[in-house]
Chain A
Amino acid sequence: EAGVAQSPRYKIIEKRQSVAFWCNPISGHATLYWYQQILGQGPKLLIQFQNNGVVDDSQLPKDRFSAERLKGVDSTLKIQPAKLEDSAVYLCASSLDIGAVSTEAFFGQGTRLTVV
């Protein structure tokens, strides 16, 4: 079974530039999560989708971050404009379904963003 795919693996941008990350979840997984992991900290949920609908985006800085999952499969996370404090690893995860017996979330390898 293929895992969660993310690209790019690394990205370096200057502050005030924009950047986009892509995620392809495990086939059949209805729930998709984007997490931000700052160095030395635990992952922090940014947004959670159930199919193509948003379940929770309460911690997404909506003035600069946006995410979409138009067809209920792939997802993109965008930052515009980026700030220095956005430097982190952005993790995508997917799980079978909210309310399923197993709520295990499978993570991708992440995209390491450095804002200079």
Chain B
Amino acid sequence: QQQVKQSPQSLIVQKGGIPIINCAYENTAFDYFPWYQQFPGKGPALLIAIRPDVSEKKEGRFTISFNKSAKQFSLHIMDSQPGDSATYFCAAGDNYGQNFVFGPGTRLSVLP
């Protein structure tokens, strides 16, 4: 019940494409859903986060879509750039920063 599932494992898109990464969770106590971006040799960095009171959140080229009834959420990257090539992790936690779990990650490659 603590698991967060993430797909695909890897993704290759052309520059300007819209990669979509999907995550699913089981624990209904989760109510904070961040996405982290990690470059090789670096720690994960928060990209965007959503709480279940909204179905969508946009920040720049990054959009989270959230489906509370299906317990699924996804990350869309608009107009993707080679600099977006990184590993993306979805995560879930409760409102009090506890039970914080990460998905297994998606390695994204954006070709020039």
Contact = CB atoms under 8 A, between A and B. Distances in A.
A104 B34 CA distance: 8
Contact of A98 (B46, B91, B98, B101): B98
Nearest to A9: B41
Interface residues of B, number: 26
A99 B31 CA distance: 12
Contacts of B4: 42
Interface stretch (A11-19, A63-71, A105-113): A105-113
Contacts, number: 62
Contacts of B105: 40-42
Interface residues of A, number: 28
A29 to B, nearest CB: 11
> Lowest 10 CB-CB distances: which A-B pairs, in order?
A107-B43, A42-B102, A103-B97, A98-B97, A98-B96, A42-B104, A99-B96, A43-B102, A42-B105, A104-B46
Interface of A: 4, 31, 33, 35, 40-45, 48, 55-56, 91, 93, 95, 97-100, 103-110
Interface of B: 4, 6, 32, 34, 36, 41-46, 49, 89, 91, 93, 95-105
